[in-house]
Structure 1
Amino acid sequence: MSRFDSYFLMKANDVPEYVREKLSFFPKDAKLECKEIGDGNLNYVFRVEDIDTKKTLIVKQAGEVTRISADMKLSTDRGRIEAKILGIQNKYAPGLVPEVYLYDEVMCAMIMEDMIGHTMMRTGLLKHEKYPNFAEDITTFMVNSLLLTTDVVMGHKEKKENVKSFINPDLCEISEDLVYSEPFIDYNKRNNVFPPNADFVKRELYEDNALHLEAAKLKFEFMNNAQSLIHGDLHTGSIFINQNHTYVFDPEFAFYGPMGYDVGNVIANMFFAWCHGDATIEDEAEKADFCGWVLDTIEEIVDKFIAKFKVAFKENVTDTMAKTEGFLEWYLGTVLADTAGIAGLESIRRTVGMANVKDITTIPDEKKRARAERIVITLAKDYIMNRTSFKCGADYRKAIETAVAKIN
């Protein structure tokens, strides 16, 4: 009888024993050290290291409540969903997600490859590091993992079985509340509004009924369009990276939804990096270099996604009607409109909602932070209200430049 035969929330000193029991990854006599390294809101992440060989692995356990609020209770089944989707994503985008060694349904824990030699992308961007291969890697990941899990490519019965397997109501509800609802109508009184911008937020978000209508349309698109197996939380905190390689991880919000949700999240979070660099880099040449790279990368992500999507569609389409002339252009157009809309929603919720981003909150100068938030909100409203007009990377660059000029 093992003490791991029934669920409990592990501490760091429990994990080495757990790993020894579940895997033969380390020698039996290995001296193991464990540290909790997670900084997310939902789970507990531990790194286990062999002190002598420096060999490591990661254990990730799902808790029954969130780390930001004990009142937000969640099904631990999200761990199963995450382990399963990592396997699917590794099939379609090999090498761009970490390998899963084991998923334990009792402890709701996953043992996986340690992304050693990589840094959490948000952490690197806060240091104003540039990643030349990111646009290439992330667009390959998104096109392959998203398009290849749609009805365009998959057998329709198989796809419907996938939809059933990835129903994820607890985490979807978090997105429905924190992304699509509360930032616009603070009915749960959980928003984090920076006091110098309180009046701006009230006028531009809480009192803009036309914006509420478009957010509502996007919310019901999110809830009802089982288009693709999406990551569901694809921000720079869900990416580990170095100068040569990218890993995408942490897909516990995965379910069948609109694929533009993932693409829009990436775009929004890249712009947060621009805001931090613009507000905190004192040397003008250094600022121009980093912020210019961010804008180039946003543009490159959109254009590479479009180009790769078209190629992959033509190579993989199986549905007879989807082969109809003009369908690809229409279908991609809906994805691009969703992308812009989601970029706006993610931008707003990370600025005024319950879960803010360090890119903004660590700007030390209050006036510069207030300015950054106003730029983000102004840009986000453009994304949402005019989402069908964002058809290429240059459209995003132009919108960013317009928003910056308007706030200046």
Structure 2
Amino acid sequence: MYDKHFLLDDKSAIDYIRHKSDFFGADEKLVCKEIGDGNINYVFKIIGKNKSIVLKQADVLLRSSKRPLDINRIYIESEVLKIQSSYSKSVPEIYFYDDIMHVIAMEDISSYKNMRLELLNGKIFPDFANQITDFLVDTLVPTTDLIMKSEEKKKDVQKFINIEMCDISEDLVFTEPYYDYKNRNVILEKNRDFVQKNIYDNERLHFKVAIMRNNFMNNAQALIHGDLHTGSIFINEGGIKIIDPEFAFYGPMAYDIGNVIGNLYFAMYYNEIVSNNKQMYEYLQRTIYNIIVFIKKKMEKKLKSLIQLPIYNDEFIRNYVDRTISDSLRYAGTEMIRRVVGDSKVLEITSVKDVDKRVDLERSILNRALMLIC
């Protein structure tokens, strides 16, 4: 049994966990709910008398489009979560990984809520900037060449070559928003001229984005999450949990940092233009500022505490961190552009039914992105 991959459902997921684990009692009544809301994988929550577990399963086809996709992505995700958990408590605990059924069994984090939705509902989390920068610095810095042994790092780079998932990012983030060669971009009619002038025909922007694209593809700096937006961050008053690192590979640290910042800008402008919530707007503006300040302070401190090679002196460390921050702001810009122009939108944009407000929202996001990149 379970010697060949097949897709689980609500019933077979219960049979599977009983067979694979003694997490639940043998006679314990179990209930299963399919809770996946993404377009790639399947997620099952199995609930017992006093505890629950989550199973995440990959298939050879994308859940949404049924397009083929390398199933090895779920193995990469499980390995990344294990590595991150050795540095941070802000990831779910992994109980086991099944390389035949391509299933990760992990901690149920239902006590944490999707941060994107929480921000849309006007929830303020005063310590988030501190929490997310702890996670970023604690998981990124130790996986750089400055800290890891050279041989170990090179083996890890090879292990985490995530070809198909990186190809998706290279296309959707750094190519199609500027060159719609697949005709998949989705642009409001009232914003077509604005996008044509400021995005499609903007050679200065293309030059800057080409640099960031090249950096993304060739700078194997650290083991990054690769898709760190507010929908991958779950939060409550006590802390955060980071999920879904299936796009992970060895890339530029600034990409993860920038994705967090870019997604906070979506919420910030939503509260300024759509919900007119001044308190939330000011909170998000302050949070973005604090993330930048905290990254600089914490990353410099972390590097100084872990680096052993004297040639990496204080001046080098300051330059290294400053460059990471400036690149982070540019990657925030690329994230903002691709979510407005490309076909993979965010709820802060798609939930706006008033067309005029959405036009203003999108233009504000794009103008900020242009400032960050150029």
Short-chain TM bin: over 0.9
Q: Answer whether contact 2:114 2:233 (CA < 8 A) is retained.
A: yes
The equivalent position to 1:43 in structure 2, one of 19, 41, 65, is: 41
For 1:6-45, list aligned pairs within 5 A. 6-45=4-43
Take 1:321 and 1:107, find their aligned partners in 2: how far apart are those partners? 47
Q: Answer whether contact 2:41 2:58 (CA < 8 A) is retained.
A: yes
> What SS does the corresponding residue of 1:354 show, helix, strand or coil?
coil
Gaps in structure 1 of 5+ consecutive residues: 386-408
Partner residue of 1:70? 66
Figure out how many residues of one structure are paired with residues of the other and give that number: 374
Take 2:12 and 2:340, find their aligned partners in 1: how far apart are those partners? 37
TM-score by length of 1: 0.89
Partner residue of 1:399? none
For 1:7-406, list aligned pairs within 5 A. 7-50=5-48, 52-53=49-50, 55-71=51-67, 73-93=68-88, 95-281=89-275, 287-322=277-312, 324-385=313-374
RMSD: 1.2
Take 2:46 and 2:198, find their aligned partners in 1: how far apart are those partners? 47
> What SS does the corresponding residue of 1:296 show, helix, strand or coil?
helix
Q: Judging changes above 3 Å, is the alpha-carbon distance between structure 1 residues 339 and 105 closer, same or farther for their aligned structure 2 residues? A: same
> What SS does the corresponding residue of 2:10 show, helix, strand or coil?
coil
Deviations 1:230-266 (A, max 9, x none): 0100000101100121111111111000000000000
Take 1:220 and 1:280, find their aligned partners in 2: how far apart are those partners? 36
Deviation at 1:37, TM superposition (A): 1.0
> What SS does the corresponding residue of 1:14 show, helix, strand or coil?
helix
> What SS does the corresponding residue of 1:276 show, helix, strand or coil?
helix
Which contiguous aligned blocks of 4+ residues in structure 1 show a shift greater than 4 angstroms?
Answer: none
> What SS does the corresponding residue of 1:116 show, helix, strand or coil?
coil
Take 1:384 and 1:39, find their aligned partners in 2: how far apart are those partners? 32
Deviation at 1:113, TM superposition (A): 0.1
Gaps in structure 2 of 5+ consecutive residues: none
Letter of the 1:278 partner, please give it.
E
Take 2:332 and 2:86, find their aligned partners in 1: how far apart are those partners? 27
> What SS does the corresponding residue of 1:234 show, helix, strand or coil?
coil
Q: Answer whether contact 1:275 1:360 (CA < 8 A) is retained.
A: no
Take 1:23 and 1:359, find their aligned partners in 2: how far apart are those partners? 40
Q: Answer whether contact 1:151 1:319 (CA < 8 A) is retained.
A: no
Take 1:199 and 1:36, find their aligned partners in 2: how far apart are those partners? 42
Q: Answer whether contact 2:42 2:63 (CA < 8 A) is retained.
A: no
Take 1:125 and 1:36, find their aligned partners in 2: how far apart are those partners? 25
